[in-house]
Chain A
Amino acid sequence: MSEPLVTLRDVVKRYDDFTAVKRMNLEIGAGEFVAIMGPSGCGKTTTLRMLAGLEAPTEGEVVIDGRVMNDVPVHERDTPLVWQSLALFPFLNARENVEFGLKMRAVAPGARRKKALEWLDRLGIAEFAERNVETLSGGQRQRVALARSLITEPRLLLLDEPLSALDAHLVIRMQGVLTRLQRELGITFVHVTHSQSEAFAMADRVVIMSRGEIAQVGAPRDIYRAPANRFVAEFVGRNNIIAGTVAPVGPGFGLLRVDTPLGPFDVVADDAPRPPGEAAVFVVGADRVEIGREPRPGAVPCTLISEEFIGSVVTLFLEAPDGTELKVQAQERALAALDAGSGGAFHLSWSPQEAHLLPPGA
């Protein structure tokens, strides 16, 4: 990571008897696209509002560009926020909305008008400059909001779930617009979202929060493949979480054997000391499970409970003999050959390389 632009140091945010953010430490590099993700109430929006100065941290420091921001009032910061509701000014047209930040900075009318038109053009909505914002479509309004936030050329742009109100196909298009802008401008984006696909599609790094704490920070691929704990494993994608104990005798070759109610499984060992008999939990991505009709050595026999069809990808929910639910995600085309509808037994297996051990106690 390059020079950090934003540093959160031991930041705590308490409301009366509720702690929204618990001692958070995070560095965000200049030019980085960071997504903060988590379920509702995890503290992600509070964190964003502290960056914008809309909330003051109860403890700790928020440092932006080398300056402690705790006591800097909102309007003296240059940390524009793209609001979930967009918060466009309904009594102004698109251009006047975009000009607002420059007007507050006492830029002359001619200069700010020119700048606003440039930004509207850059976002491909120059033709709507004089239109009432209430008559624009969702995607167009989104672009007005972006232009309004970027016109002051800030080093840091905050985004609070701005895509959540858009139709699915528009979300994909706006993700493209956002990533392209971020690359071109080289400024830091901090994007709060509850949508995994949004976070993973756009961010260089993803911060996952749970109950006011950071559960994991990392590149989307790392988080997807190697969740740091049970919360992340459950929150991110479809994972099979299998718990057991470390077997007395290991297979060697950098593998660890875990005895589970489903039988013994070999997994790639980690660096943690793993005495025999200790609890061990590993995660297998639903898309990493092989499913077949024929029994194979080490495969778990299962019966099909239900399937979820979302287009080209299908998720099967199966039950092992001991009642454990297992998930398999596969291409619809590949599953057609299995004739899932006819009932009967399925056999699931995975290679040790696909099983990811969670750290002890996580």
Chain B
Amino acid sequence: MSGAGKAAAGLWALRIWAALVFVFVFAPIFFSVIFSFNSARFPTIPLESFTLHWYQTIFADPDVWDAALNSVIVSSCTAVLATALGFCTAYTDYRYRFRGQGAYLALVLLPPTIPLIIMALAMLAWLSKIGASGQIWSIVAAHTVLTAPFAMAVIRLRLNQIDPSLEAAAWNLGASQWRAMRWVILPFARPAIVSALCLTAAVSFDEFAVAWFVSGLNKTVPVLILEIVTGNIDPQVNAIGTLVFGVSITLVALAQILLAARLSRSAA
């Protein structure tokens, strides 16, 4: 086989591999979507008839609406708080050189590396100790801790691309530190900030373990799903899952598009 032929074969092998990975990841979601429109009570093949019954059921269920509202409140508050925190830590790390900077960074990036169940237990213990467990704000606090590192990473990456003279150029043209932040650093980091908002919202919207431990009666959508499936097999779950998947994938795709657009522009 010629060198070019080998390369082409390698390329095809890679493509098939990538396709298999996608199938593996997306097949369950795909079937969940299909079954959510299937009239059968149990997820079996062959499919019965098309129905919107399960969607009608969930939209009629006040529990689902409560959970959805909780999830929207939690994920949007978490997104704003985590992104604000992430921006501050990223800017501090970009702008200043200080003793213990390595430790500071390690600490900031630590939460996602802790197993979720440990994190959730610790959160529950701590929040109930200070009398703040079982409320919707408990979930916001816990999710903020969990997602801020993602926001920090995305924004820090963007700040890496800034011309180090840019901020000083703003001062030199009459901007105070705060105004340079407002008119130079923030506009420069804006794509990353929006993308961090989407990402942290998506992570918080999907997160189950921590939410389950600290939520109390304020269930978010993932917690509700667990309650439904522990009771019985109910195709409602497929309908809810489809909607949750839709929201999350939209947010993540938005984040990706924003980042990619920015990168290709700076590469040009």
Which residues does A use to contact B, with CB under 8 Å? Answer: 52, 54, 73-76, 78-81, 83-85, 87, 89-92, 100-101, 103-105, 134, 148-149, 152
Q: Is the CB of B166 within 8 A of A103?
A: no
The 8 A-B pairs at the shortest CB distance, nearest first, are namely A104-B174, A87-B169, A87-B165, A101-B173, A74-B171, A91-B187, A83-B165, A104-B175
Q: Is the CB of A89 within 8 A of B184?
A: yes
**Which one of A54, A100, A101 contacts B168 once the chains associate, using CB atoms below 8 Å?**
A54
* B169 partner residues in chain A, CB cutoff 8 A: 81, 83, 87, 89
Docked CA distance A159–B203 (Å): 48
B163 close to chain A: CB less than 8 A: yes
Q: Is the CB of A75 within 8 A of B176?
A: yes
Shortest CB-to-CB span from B183 to chain A, Å, is 7
Shortest CB-to-CB span from A131 to chain B, Å, is 14
**Which one of A76, A81, A134, A148 contacts B268 once the chains associate, using CB atoms below 8 Å?**
A134
**Which one of B166, B179, B265 contacts A89 once the chains associate, using CB atoms below 8 Å?**
B166
Chain A residue nearest to B187 (CB atoms) is A91
Docked CA distance A54–B172 (Å): 8
B122 close to chain A: CB less than 8 A: no
Q: Is the CB of A87 within 8 A of B175?
A: no
Q: Is the CB of B165 within 8 A of A104?
A: no
B170 close to chain A: CB less than 8 A: yes
Shortest CB-to-CB span from B40 to chain A, Å, is 54
Q: Given that A54-B168, A83-B165 are contacting pairs, would A90 and B175 also be in contact in the complex, using a CB cutoff of 8 Å?
A: no
Docked CA distance A103–B174 (Å): 9
Docked CA distance A52–B170 (Å): 12
* B183 partner residues in chain A, CB cutoff 8 A: 100, 103-104
Q: Is the CB of B163 within 8 A of A79?
A: no
Q: Given that A54-B168, A87-B168, A134-B268 are contacting pairs, would A100 and B173 also be in contact in the complex, using a CB cutoff of 8 Å?
A: yes
Q: Is the CB of A104 within 8 A of B184?
A: no
* A54 partner residues in chain B, CB cutoff 8 A: 168, 171-172
B188 close to chain A: CB less than 8 A: yes
* B265 partner residues in chain A, CB cutoff 8 A: 134
Chain B residue nearest to A145 (CB atoms) is B169
Q: Is the CB of B172 within 8 A of A74?
A: yes
Q: Is the CB of B188 within 8 A of A100?
A: no
Shortest CB-to-CB span from A6 to chain B, Å, is 16
Docked CA distance A87–B175 (Å): 14
* A76 partner residues in chain B, CB cutoff 8 A: 174
* A52 partner residues in chain B, CB cutoff 8 A: 172
Docked CA distance A100–B265 (Å): 22
Docked CA distance A92–B174 (Å): 17
Q: Is the CB of A101 within 8 A of B174?
A: yes
Shortest CB-to-CB span from B4 to chain A, Å, is 37
Shortest CB-to-CB span from A117 to chain B, Å, is 18
**Which one of B163, B165, B168 contacts A74 once the chains associate, using CB atoms below 8 Å?**
B168
Q: Is the CB of A75 within 8 A of B174?
A: yes
Q: What would 10 more interface pairs be, CB under 8 Å, given A74-B172, A75-B179?
A: A74-B171, A75-B176, A80-B173, A87-B163, A100-B170, A101-B173, A104-B173, A134-B265, A134-B268, A152-B173
Docked CA distance A89–B184 (Å): 7
Shortest CB-to-CB span from B105 to chain A, Å, is 24
Q: Given that A54-B168, A74-B168, A90-B188 are contacting pairs, would A105 and B174 also be in contact in the complex, using a CB cutoff of 8 Å?
A: yes
Docked CA distance A79–B268 (Å): 32
* B165 partner residues in chain A, CB cutoff 8 A: 83-85, 87
26 interchain pairs (CB within 8 A)?
Answer: A52-B172, A54-B171, A74-B168, A75-B171, A75-B172, A75-B179, A75-B180, A78-B174, A80-B172, A80-B173, A83-B169, A85-B163, A87-B163, A87-B166, A87-B169, A89-B169, A89-B170, A90-B266, A91-B188, A91-B190, A100-B173, A100-B183, A101-B173, A105-B174, A134-B268, A152-B173
Report B164-209 residues with CB < 8 Å from chain A CB: 165-166, 168-176, 179-180, 183-184, 187-188, 190
Q: Is the CB of A81 within 8 A of B172?
A: yes
* A100 partner residues in chain B, CB cutoff 8 A: 170, 173, 175, 183
Docked CA distance A54–B166 (Å): 13
Report B245-259 residues with CB < 8 Å from chain A CB: none
Chain A residue nearest to B167 (CB atoms) is A87
Docked CA distance A152–B268 (Å): 32
Docked CA distance A54–B175 (Å): 13
Q: Is the CB of B175 within 8 A of A75?
A: yes
